[in-house]
Structure 1
Amino acid sequence: MHSDLWIEEKFSDFLGLRIKVEKVLFSGKSEFQSVDVVETKGHGKMLLNDGLIMVTERDEFAYHDMIAHVPLFVHPNPKNVLVIGGGDGGTAREVLRHASVEKCTMVEIDAMVVDACKEHIPQTSKDLEHPKMNLIIGDGVKFVNETTEKFDVIIVDSTDPIGPAQPLFGEAFYQDVYNCLADDGIVVSQGESSWYAMDIQQSLLKVLNSVFPNSYLYSFSNLTYPGGLWSFTFASKQYHPCRDFNPERVSESGLSFDYYNANLHTAAFALPSFALNGLKGLIAND
């Protein structure tokens, strides 16, 4: 292996992130995208889809803690959880830590992502064979359109709205999500960057507001997504993400976390002023 191998993820035409690669562990092309797993010098193993960084061992816990535990600690008794996407397995891993969860269905469109992570990134994929796990290789858009099941929490762990993930940002998809949520259901979705993709946040929140009574945005910090500050959207038929959150449930759960905690749960919904101004009228963060 050439000793000076770096990968560079370019964002738009003005920004790049370079990371030193020690070794290429897997490289393939599925019918949907290119899939690579590399061993890096400073961030451990890393998954890239179409050259874009999805997961690194060093900071994956920040993303997976916040996408999973925020809705699961707001919902009073989440038993049936659906994950759309999330092929690396990290979101499902966190969902399955909750004692109340009886079943976690994960619908991932690309088998190559699942197989590559099972083989090379057990840190995130270790629970994909869990007895409560129902792993489906298929189209999440089609699944929510056709299923008769009702879910307490739906987590849309998608890539950016390009390629196979594009329909996961549309109104028809969220209408179907609404229909297969229980009467007090919650949906959380990967919500892009307020720094660099506020236009995508605005369009996603408009879609959510057309379907759900209230939509919210919350943020977390990470090392490898452009800008470092990244967001999730939260929409519910019934619950407020902070007023209906009981911090004692976190301590009583007996779970420990590397990123999430009860104080951070509420703080994540306090957005910087530029985001509040840019998303005015689209979020109910109060």
Structure 2
Amino acid sequence: MEVWFTEDQTNDLRIGCRVREVLFSDVSPFQKVAVLDTVEFGRMLTLDNVIQTNLKDEFVYHEMITHVGLNTHPNPKKVLVIGGGDGGAVREIVKHQGIERVVHVEIDQMVIDVAKKFFPELSCGFADPRVEIVVDDGIKHVKDNKGVYDMIIVDSTDPVGPAVGLFSEEFYRSVFEALTGDGLFVAQTESPFFNSELIKQITATVNGIFPVTRLYWAVVPTYPGGYWTFTMGSKMYDPKTVVLDEAKIAALNTKWYSSEIHRTAFMLQPFVKELLPR
């Protein structure tokens, strides 16, 4: 008997993956958590039947949500990750030798436990002594920690359920206050094909709070449309004009991110430019 996992990416678009085995399935206080062994993408994490990550394409997302900002800020020492319980973002952050502390705030303990068991390739960074894992609400954490972090990464799920508040103006203002004087943040901000109004709203909101606002993109095959965006809000540094340390980037041992990708990620197609504040 064939077993397939299907995700309704929109009301009119569905993606399907053939499944060898369901490795884990349970319901946490926040969401349904499942780990699937798929034929095409290997082990895959889903939350509420939505693909979060998988072993085949995860490196694109995790490298782009971390290294663009970490190579824009000249000396990031303290980094906060909100969400991203699979650990992929933390894995990339700890590659940077100058990092002194990484605080990873994930609301769902089950996601962390599942990542440690089924995704050691992603969660390996949790073992780094610079990493502190906090099981708590990320919105509350940023409100309670003002002026602490050089960089904040919002590695959230889609803007439904427990993640809705991570896309609000109030939250972005709290992020601004939680950053140091020259800090910056990066958030995943969905697909311009299917979430154009959300991108308009986020970039306009961030533009009203931060001196520098930039939208950039990457290709993540299992996310809706394959074209995925990230939004950066920076108090001082512009990722489009920063002088990149080529030797430092080469030492990161990345599969997608590079100095060339850093620069070209901000080259937006005309239909995407139309979503930005005038």
TM-score class, shorter-chain normalisation, is: over 0.9
Distance across 2 between alignment mates of 1:12 and 1:226: 8
Equivalent residue, structure 2, for 1:246: 244
Distance across 1 between alignment mates of 2:198 and 2:274: 15
Equivalent residue, structure 2, for 1:227: 225
Alpha-carbon deviation of 1:247? 4.4
Q: Following superposition of structure 1 onto structure 2, how do residues 74-153 of structure 1 map, counting pairs within 5 Å?
A: 74-148=72-146, 150-153=148-151
Distance across 1 between alignment mates of 2:147 and 2:275: 36
Equivalent residue, structure 2, for 1:190: 188
Equivalent residue, structure 2, for 1:26: 24
1:260 lines up with 2:261 in the alignment: no
TM-score, length of structure 2 as denominator length: 0.97
Distance across 2 between alignment mates of 1:112 and 1:192: 24
* Displaced runs of 4 or more, over 6 A: none
Distance across 2 between alignment mates of 1:258 and 1:53: 21
Equivalent residue, structure 1, for 2:70: 72
Distance across 2 between alignment mates of 1:249 and 1:95: 17
Q: Which stretch of structure 1 is more off in the superposition, 85-94 or 120-129?
A: 120-129
Query: In the TM superposition, what whole-angstrom CA distance separates every residue of 1:14-52 from its partner, at most 9, and x where no partner exists?
Result: 111110100111101011110000110010100000000
Equivalent residue, structure 1, for 2:272: 275
TM-score, length of structure 1 as denominator length: 0.95
The one-letter amino acid paired with 1:272 is Q
> How many residue pairs are counted as aligned between the two chains?
278
Please state whether the residue corresponding to 1:175 is helix, strand or coil: helix
Task: Judge conservation of contact 1:81–1:154 (CA < 8 Å) in 2.
Answer: yes
Distance across 2 between alignment mates of 1:55 and 1:245: 31
Task: Judge conservation of contact 1:250–1:261 (CA < 8 Å) in 2.
Answer: no
The one-letter amino acid paired with 2:221 is L
Equivalent residue, structure 2, for 1:284: none
- The one of 32, 35, 41 equivalent to 2:33 is 35
> What is the RMSD computed on CA atoms of the aligned residues?
1.2
The one-letter amino acid paired with 2:86 is D
Q: Structure 1 vs Structure 2: percent identity of aligned residues?
A: 41
Distance across 1 between alignment mates of 2:171 and 2:243: 27
Equivalent residue, structure 2, for 1:12: 10
Please state whether the residue corresponding to 1:223 is helix, strand or coil: coil
Please state whether the residue corresponding to 2:208 is helix, strand or coil: helix
Distance across 2 between alignment mates of 1:225 and 1:148: 33
Distance across 2 between alignment mates of 1:131 and 1:34: 30
1:49 lines up with 2:16 in the alignment: no
Q: Which stretch of structure 1 is more off in the superposition, 3-12 or 52-61?
A: 3-12
Distance across 2 between alignment mates of 1:71 and 1:138: 24
